[in-house]
Amino acid sequence: MERLLLNHFYIGTVEGYSSEGLGIVRINGAVVFAPRAVRGETVKLRITKVMKSCYAGEIECIAAPSSERVEPDCPYFGRCGGCAYRHMSYAEELRAKKQKVQDALERIGGLNLQVEEILGAKDPLHYRNKAQYPVGSDGAVGFYRQRSHQVIPVEHCQICAPAADASAGGVGAWMKKYGVPGYDEKTGKGLVRHVYVRINRKGESLCCVVFNGKIAPREPELAAMILAAAPQTVGVVLSSNTRRDNVILGDRYRTLWGQDFLMDELCGLQFKLSVPSFYQVNREQAEALYRKAVEFAELTGTETVLDLYCGAGTITLAMSERAKRVIGAEIVPEAIENAKENAARNGIRNAEFFCGDASDIAAKLERDGLRSEVICVDPPRKGLTSEVIGSVAAMEPKRVVYVSCDPATLARDLKRFGELGYQAERAVAADLFPGTCHVETVVLMTYCGDK
């Protein structure tokens, strides 16, 4: 392999994409990662960083552009770190994401399992029903620059709902008018840390402002300016977070105006959502994902279904119509209360919910002798712990449906399940985050041998 030199120029062809959406260019056997590249292009690169086994590069010019290259539709693209694929067609983005899942299953999981399809979005714009805007020490409200915590001010985001942008703008205007300082991560000083907004199908919004303290100055004016910017706001909530880490929400909430929840409709069911409740950010694509999860569960009406990491009970309640009994577990107390209310609101009587850590609840249900024919897991990005996997396998379900937001941890966990007698049978990817490098996957596992 030829050793490439820093700041020198080389010509190569983009072969594919990394898990973060970077173009992969091989030059004389060396691997170079370049942002904003499109598969099949011939590019002239400048080496910007030399690493142990690979290189980073910047495209200086495109000698032969791909027919899938498009003009980015966002003025912040390349500065804001939110999106990775605004320079290519949506069809090419879907191909990249499907391949990302396939590569993880093969290389990390060691699986000979083909991804059947990727469920693409009908509309890849303004789909986010939840937006989290960090606030910089200089008062900027926007999103982080890639691989940094520098806040890039953003007025209009192509993937967020306009009402969320408006709410964030209202908070920024309030800060500027009354001299309210943004939070400084380095010193721990300053006041406003994040603006967190949920939006429902009707366009109504719930705005939570996260403070480095218990109270804020000019609180009535804050509520008034948010309402003026986003008239369909149904509630303004303050969250106190004085921790010196990257956790966004605090553990204390106070309603400044209106209500502390938002109602929304998903899969034909009504859901009550508090600020910290987990809820998929792309409503239409979540429905497609959940339909696939229900299909994989192969329910006949006689089964007991256990849903770990249930959030506000979306998957649990989606499966309740076809199951005899459904049990949801979640560590966030507010989410469990929402889940119980959601079951009652929708007249669902075969659902139960427990609050606690997934590993503890799974172990307890195992000790209690629960026999669940189907177990569904929808963990955070870090995936499942070995304890959860062990407890799930010990309950000997016929089928395990794994919904994942990270192909790498999914593949790792599927390998662990394989060692305990569970075989991955089907896999489908779903694009819940158009424009970004993230992709969801749902996998069906069945028990096929002695553990």
The set of residues, in sequence order, having a beta carbon less than 8 Å from that of 276 and lying 6+ positions away, is: 249, 332, 334, 335
Residue closest to 424 by CA, chosen among 330, 315, 296? 296
Q: For residues 279 and 270, is the Cβ–Cβ distance under 8 A?
A: no
One-letter amino acid at 235 equals G
Q: Which of 74, 376, 405, 437 is catalytic?
A: 405
Is residue 69 helix, strand or coil? strand
Distance CA 435, CA 96 (A): 11
Is 157 part of the annotated catalytic residue set? no
One-letter amino acid at 289 equals L
Distance CA 227, CA 147 (A): 33
Core vs surface per residue 256-282: b (16+ CB within 10 A) or e:
bbbebbbbbebbebebbbbbbbbbbbb
The set of residues, in sequence order, having a beta carbon less than 8 Å from that of 127 and lying 6+ positions away, is: 121, 159, 161, 281, 282, 283, 284, 285, 434
Report the catalytic residues.
Answer: 405
